[in-house]
Chains A and B, each alone.
Chain A
Amino acid sequence: MAGQTVSLVIAGSGGAGVVTAGSLLLEAAARAGWHAYMTRSSGPQIRGGEAAAMIRLGVEPVASHDDTYHVLAAIDWENIDRFAAEIPLGPDSVILGDPEAGATPARIAAKGAREAAIPLQALAKEIPAGRPNMVALGAIAAMIGLPEACMAQVLREQLKRKGEEAIEASLAAFRIGMQAADGLPPVPRLEPREVPLRERWSITGNEAAGMGALRGGVRFVAAYPITPATEVLEWLAPMLPKVGGVLVQAEDELASINQIIGASYGGIPSLTATSGPGLALMTESIGLAVAAEVPIVIVNVMRGGPSTGIPTKSEQADLNIAIYGLHGDAPHLVLAPTSVEDCLFTTQWAVYLAETLQTAAIVLSDQAMGQARAVIQRSAAISFIGQRERPVSLEAGQQYQRYAITASGVSPMAVPGMAGYAYTADGLTHAESGMPSSQAAHHAEQLDKRLRKLTGFDYGEHWAEISGDADADTAIVTWGSCSGPVREALRRWQDAGGKARTVAMRLLSPVQPEQLARALAGVRRVLIVEQTHSGQFHRYLRAQYDLPGEVRALHHPGPLPVRPGEVFEQLANWS
């Protein structure tokens, strides 16, 4: 929950050090005991180019951006129009601009924020090797109540290798900025807190997904780079060998999905990460994993689509392909983390489920979680490691039945090296032995068991995160990175005297009709919130679930995030 927060944007051209400034601010905020959430937006240039760091800081956990930013600090105004739509400002906002960089561009000025001049370039020049971005950071720190000591500590650590002179230059520029903030219009200030540093993690959703994979037992990863999923793979690359695993860069996504199927067939829990275009290429082979009952996990970090779409920005529009994209009747798992932090849990859970149920699991993360960096409370180690059921004994003369029909639908799975259990895994319809078959009875019984093992499994309480009032007559159902703004809207609604309940679904497939019915008991209004153009989640819920009472949908495409205020307004205007 957000509680008291302050929201900032630092923008500027390539080389202005915008991203560096954002990262330093995040680190310093962590030392002040605050939580943080930061996303970045940049131009299309491969390297450099204009950028904006969007940051929200709070004394309590922060899961998403606010409706508007309190401060827009522009080192300069180069190409700011590219981000203008992503930087909502209001009358309470402050634009910090350098007069030397020219007048505030019309699209920004039109937002109606208070404007304050601060001569970033000129002040930076007063310090040998001083940089305007540090001056801006100093001004921001003074405005929001960030103690100088926190930034000093971060600079000493991060610039250690550059030497004392560089540290002093940065600190001096920072201090000048702090002094220059005197008389600037007020914005919310946060109180520093004493928190043991080791209890705070600075982590991106993509790193968290990687950590979840390792905790779940993944020891083989095949990788083909794609924005915005590459960091999952790049984080795992040096980590896997440390725990006895391996990452292989594949020639394409067709190879990466099949490599992990091969490794998993060999008994090693395996994973790949990709984004929409890669997921589309993988779908045929995900069906193979379903049919041959080989556990695999695909972390799909969604971006704007279709086709190449907007690679660097978020959207939730891979829901349909994740759920319905496989040919044939191919029941599989689709899960979605509900926050940066939850990327860890959900990925770990996906590995556990895939291993236990011997099927494919798709984790639908998105750019707004994957590439966002958050300062969070350290994530407690949750111990569940998937256990594949292995065959234990065979009676004399009995042949191993790899795809034996069982009550649960899960058949004990041998791995190469086990004498007497050799079988051929097959994407062809097969009999219990694995022998290819085109008989109707074999087809039906194998389709049944693959479905049964998923629908009969007890997913416990993890299927969704439910919060709010038990006696509410209004519920908001959402998923993925919309969960943060929805929870925040709930809190505002409650603060305004309203009652509501939120359901953030973590398990999207198989469907959980009884669970959702229980979660929506007594509700007569359901608001569905998602970030797609066509309302994919709304249509999916309508098709798969009985929703009580009146149903409304709030959805728009990326890259603009769903903001808490939009959700709140839907509730407020629902009469």
Chain B
Amino acid sequence: MDNCAVAQKMSPKDYKSDVKPIWCAGCGDFSVLSAITKALAALSLPPEQVAVVSGIGCSSRIPAYTSVYGFHGVHGRALPIATGLKIARPDLTVLVTGGDGDGFSIGGNHFLHACRRNVDMTYVVMDNQVYGMTKGQASPTTAPDWEGSKLTPEGAGINPFHPLVVALAAGANFIARCSSSDPNNVAQIIAEGIRHPGFSLIQVLSPCVTFRPEQKDWKRMVRTAVVDATDDPARAARRLMTDDGFNVGKVLYKGSREPFRPGAEACFQVDDLEAGFAVGQ
């Protein structure tokens, strides 16, 4: 009987704040918020040892809706904030939340380098193929012929970006796709991503019922991916390149690359370094 484990048993509500989300009724992000709190509870993480970092956008509002430490920064820069935090404070569990615009457009360069750098953190991207907070513009994952935006009334006209393939090519260590229609599965995958060392990317199809009402059908379109876990990037690449984006519920790639953990124990006093300036040294 492990008394400590019993004493630390946590419930999802221990990770929820009492702030009411700004989201529209029916938004997929409610499920993802709930999945995050479930995952943290399942791992029994002390709330003060967890930080949720975000940029700007609907889904980037999540930190304030949790009871853990949070950082709601500027548009597109959640990953660098989280990178600095995790490297400076490796004892913390760091989650990053955001949307497809924040992560893949304005934050695209950081996305590439976060995959490459492989710092031990978990990035949950709520992908709804639209900019919701600015009232409905095409994002990097929007189909080229989507005519729902006043900004690009004839469609964006450019091909969507495939975040999971890019992540694989850039070196992400854990790649999964889920659907907000199955929050328990999302919770399970997030918990797995947190446990897996290195940079974990979890794309969650999370409908925008206001600007992309047709996405309400996603819950009927998604299917559980019929795939085995693989640590072979070539196999994962084929898998990701050939699917239609609706294979969900599974980890699509899980690598074993060592996370980036710079840092060392102090072995000098600062004043010892002065000797290097002395003439003749």
Q: Are B80 and A197 in contact (CB under 8 A)?
A: no
Give the residue name and chain of the B residue nearest to A376 (CB).
B277
Determine whether A417 belongs to the interface, using a CB cutoff of 8 Å to chain B.
yes
Q: Are B74 and A197 in contact (CB under 8 A)?
A: no
Give the contact stretch, choosing among A119-127, A263-271, A518-526: A263-271
Q: Are A246 and B48 in contact (CB under 8 A)?
A: no
Nearest Cβ on chain A to B216's Cβ, whole angstroms: 28
| Known contacts A202-B277, A242-B268; A422/B70 CB under 8 A | yes
Determine whether A137 belongs to the interface, using a CB cutoff of 8 Å to chain B.
no
Determine whether B87 belongs to the interface, using a CB cutoff of 8 Å to chain A.
yes
Q: Are B277 and A203 in contact (CB under 8 A)?
A: yes
Q: Are A248 and B87 in contact (CB under 8 A)?
A: yes
| Known contacts A263-B88, A422-B68; A200/B279 CB under 8 A | yes
- A471 and B89 CA atoms in complex are apart in Å by 55
Nearest Cβ on chain A to B169's Cβ, whole angstroms: 16
Partner of A241, one of B19, B76, B77, B263: B263
- A246 and B84 CA atoms in complex are apart in Å by 10
Partner of A243, one of B68, B79, B109, B270: B270
Give the contact stretch, choosing among A8-16, A140-148, A251-259, A499-507: A251-259
Q: Are B77 and A254 in contact (CB under 8 A)?
A: yes
Determine whether B7 belongs to the interface, using a CB cutoff of 8 Å to chain A.
no
> 1/0 contact trace for A19-47 toward B, CB 8 Å?
00000000100110000000000000000
> 1/0 contact trace for B66-105 toward A, CB 8 Å?
0111111110110111111111110110000000000000
- A419 and B50 CA atoms in complex are apart in Å by 11
Determine whether B262 belongs to the interface, using a CB cutoff of 8 Å to chain A.
yes
Interface residues on chain B, number (Cβ under 8 Å) = 54
Chain B hits for A458, CB < 8 A? none
Q: Are B73 and A266 in contact (CB under 8 A)?
A: no
- A292 and B64 CA atoms in complex are apart in Å by 14
- A30 and B74 CA atoms in complex are apart in Å by 49
Give the residue name and chain of the A residue nearest to B109 (CB).
A251
Pair count A-B, CB < 8 A: 197
> 1/0 contact trace for B51-76 toward A, CB 8 Å?
10100000000011001111111101
- A239 and B269 CA atoms in complex are apart in Å by 11
- A241 and B267 CA atoms in complex are apart in Å by 8
| Known contacts A197-B278, A417-B92; A246/B87 CB under 8 A | yes
Q: Are B279 and A31 in contact (CB under 8 A)?
A: yes
> 1/0 contact trace for A210-228 toward B, CB 8 Å?
0100110001101000000
Nearest Cβ on chain A to B10's Cβ, whole angstroms: 13
| Known contacts A422-B48, A422-B67; A198/B278 CB under 8 A | yes
| Known contacts A255-B80, A265-B81; A427/B64 CB under 8 A | no
Residues 234-248 (chain A) with a chain B CB within 8 angstroms:
239, 241-248
Residues 106-158 (chain A) with a chain B CB within 8 angstroms:
153, 157
Q: Are B83 and A27 in contact (CB under 8 A)?
A: no
Chain A hits for B2, CB < 8 A? none
Chain B hits for A416, CB < 8 A? 48-51, 69, 85, 89, 92
Give the residue name and chain of the A residue nearest to B106 (CB).
A254
Q: Are A262 and B81 in contact (CB under 8 A)?
A: yes
Give the residue name and chain of the B residue nearest to A213 (CB).
B270
| Known contacts A242-B266, A417-B91; A258/B277 CB under 8 A | no
Determine whether A405 belongs to the interface, using a CB cutoff of 8 Å to chain B.
no
Determine whether A466 belongs to the interface, using a CB cutoff of 8 Å to chain B.
no
Chain B hits for A268, CB < 8 A? 88-89
Q: Are A425 and B273 in contact (CB under 8 A)?
A: no
Determine whether A387 belongs to the interface, using a CB cutoff of 8 Å to chain B.
no
Chain B hits for A30, CB < 8 A? 279-280
Determine whether B47 belongs to the interface, using a CB cutoff of 8 Å to chain A.
yes
Q: Are A427 and B67 in contact (CB under 8 A)?
A: no
| Known contacts A246-B263, A248-B83, A417-B91; A201/B280 CB under 8 A | no
Chain A hits for B82, CB < 8 A? 262
Q: Are B72 and A211 in contact (CB under 8 A)?
A: no
Q: Are B277 and A428 in contact (CB under 8 A)?
A: no
Chain A hits for B76, CB < 8 A? 254
Nearest Cβ on chain B to A446's Cβ, whole angstroms: 15
- A415 and B101 CA atoms in complex are apart in Å by 29
Nearest Cβ on chain A to B16's Cβ, whole angstroms: 12
Determine whether B212 belongs to the interface, using a CB cutoff of 8 Å to chain A.
no
Determine whether A493 belongs to the interface, using a CB cutoff of 8 Å to chain B.
no
Nearest Cβ on chain A to B13's Cβ, whole angstroms: 15
Determine whether A378 belongs to the interface, using a CB cutoff of 8 Å to chain B.
yes
Partner of A270, one of B73, B88, B263, B266: B88
Determine whether B110 belongs to the interface, using a CB cutoff of 8 Å to chain A.
yes
Residues 394-450 (chain A) with a chain B CB within 8 angstroms:
416-428, 434-436
- A242 and B87 CA atoms in complex are apart in Å by 16
Q: Are B47 and A422 in contact (CB under 8 A)?
A: yes
Partner of B71, one of A250, A251, A262, A285: A262
| Known contacts A157-B280, A200-B278; A262/B88 CB under 8 A | yes
Chain A hits for B112, CB < 8 A? 251
Chain A hits for B269, CB < 8 A? 243
Determine whether A273 belongs to the interface, using a CB cutoff of 8 Å to chain B.
no
- A418 and B79 CA atoms in complex are apart in Å by 23
Determine whether B214 belongs to the interface, using a CB cutoff of 8 Å to chain A.
no
| Known contacts A215-B270, A417-B89; A424/B72 CB under 8 A | yes
Q: Are B88 and A378 in contact (CB under 8 A)?
A: no
Q: Are A197 and B280 in contact (CB under 8 A)?
A: yes
Q: Are A424 and B113 in contact (CB under 8 A)?
A: no
Q: Are B84 and A260 in contact (CB under 8 A)?
A: yes
Q: By CB atoms of chain B within 10 A, which of A242, A245, A262, A285 has the most? A: A262
Nearest Cβ on chain A to B96's Cβ, whole angstroms: 10
Chain A hits for B279, CB < 8 A? 27, 30-31, 197-198, 200-202, 375
List 18 A–B pairs whose Cβ atoms lie within 8 Å, in order of A's numbering: A219-B88, A220-B87, A243-B266, A243-B273, A251-B110, A258-B80, A259-B80, A261-B73, A262-B81, A263-B84, A265-B84, A288-B74, A378-B277, A416-B48, A421-B48, A422-B68, A425-B71, A425-B72
